[in-house]
Amino acid sequence: MIDKMFLLEAAHVCYADHYARLAEERGQSFSGYRIEECVERLPDDVQLPIIMRYIGRIEQAWGQSIGLVFHHMGLEHPDDIEHALCDLMLGCMGHGVAITDDFAEAWDQAAAVFALKRATPIQFEGSEWDELAYDELSKEHQP
């Protein structure tokens, strides 16, 4: 099982990505900034159920828990686990990044153990984060 703190960080990165996209459509700019540092965090009890649904779908597609896959990838350092989880989630959202970008050799190792075919096993839009970002931006722009 992946630690709750990593799940919440990955959820925030996904939410911040949606928030920034919608904010940029309204004229805000985030260039030169780490978006997740500019966007206020949502409460844990809002974020956790969302990311857990996607984690469940990824684990079902892989037939293995993400924690076990990461273990066989040799990911032990918290920064590596967080980075890999964020890459995995963003990749599944069609962001053009994947866990194999920074962890290719480690992925190959785990993929061989579990006969995993795809590092990005599902695709999703993250519409829940889109709705939350839209709601938050709407509040910010009210007179």
Q: Could you give the CA distance from residue 29 to residue 43 in angstroms, rounded to a whole number?
A: 24
Paired tokens of 130:
């889109």
**The model's pTM:** 0.90
Confidence class for position 4, pLDDT limits 50, 70, 90: very high
Tally the domains of the chain.
1
* Phi, psi of 104, deg, nearest 5: -60, -50
> Residue 13 sits in which domain range?
4-140
Q: Could you give the CA distance from residue 119 to residue 32 in angstroms, rounded to a whole number?
A: 29
For 27-51, write each residue's pLDDT tens digit. Answer: 887 766 677 888 899 999 999 999 9
Examine the pLDDT at 131 and tell me if it is beyond 80: yes
Percent pLDDT > 90 in the chain is 76
| 47 contacts 8 by C-beta, under 8 angstroms | yes
